[in-house]
Amino acid sequence: MSGCLPSNPWITDDDTYWAMNAPSVAAPTKLRVERWGFSFRELLEDPVGRAHFMDFLRKEFSAENLSFWEACEELRHGGQARVPTLVDSVYQQFLAPGAARWVNIDSQTMERTLEGLCRPHRYALDDAQLHIYMLMKKDSYPRFLKSDMYKTLLAEAMTLPETKRR
């Protein structure tokens, strides 16, 4: 027989659940770290998970892929007034010949992206972003899940304290 589940965080005065699952907590819960292994999207949507994934990518010398994906997200969800400037900035930083943090996309994707740059809009880099997303999902993400870094995170993750039923 297993112990009791934690109290329903919606109907209790105990704020432990909320504190342990805050977006910027230093030590994530075991459940949270396990969720990163369920899907790549879960990992990217969690700020703590994304930060650990970025650390992993830095060690693999491919952090520019996640940085590019984040820049595209900022472009997509940012203010309209900044769109032309952001499109140019992202292009210069990641896609232009000789870019400091160049990301590797195929020639067809680059052609479609360059067409979108003629009249900058918030979705101009979507093809390139999807290409990099799929590259990370199929290549970097499985390596992250098999890495010592992820295994250590899982082993050191906090477990929620069990509470007794009333």
pLDDT at 32: 92
Of 147, 156, 138, nearest to 59 (Cα)? 147
Q: What's the pLDDT band for 2 if we cut at 50, 70, 90? A: very low
Entry pTM? 0.79
Taking the CA atoms of residue 32, residue 17, residue 10 and residue 42 in that order, the dihedral angle to the nearest 10 degrees is -10
**Where exactly are the structural domains of the chain?**
40-149
**CATH 2.60.120.200 fits domain 40-149:** no
Between these two residues, 6 and 2, which has the higher pLDDT value?
A: 6
pLDDT at 18: 44
* Residue in the structure block whose two tokens are 């900022």: 74
Rounded to whole angstroms, how far apart are CA atoms 60 and 144?
A: 10
pLDDT 10s digits, 30-43: 999 999 999 999 99
Rounded to whole angstroms, how far apart are CA atoms 123 and 82?
A: 13
Contact 4, 164 (CB under 8 A): yes
Residue 66: CB atoms within 10 Å: 22
pLDDT 10s digits, 61-119: 999 999 999 999 999 998 999 999 999 999 999 999 999 999 999 999 999 999 989 99
158 DSSP β-pair partners: 29
Average pLDDT over residues 17-35: 69
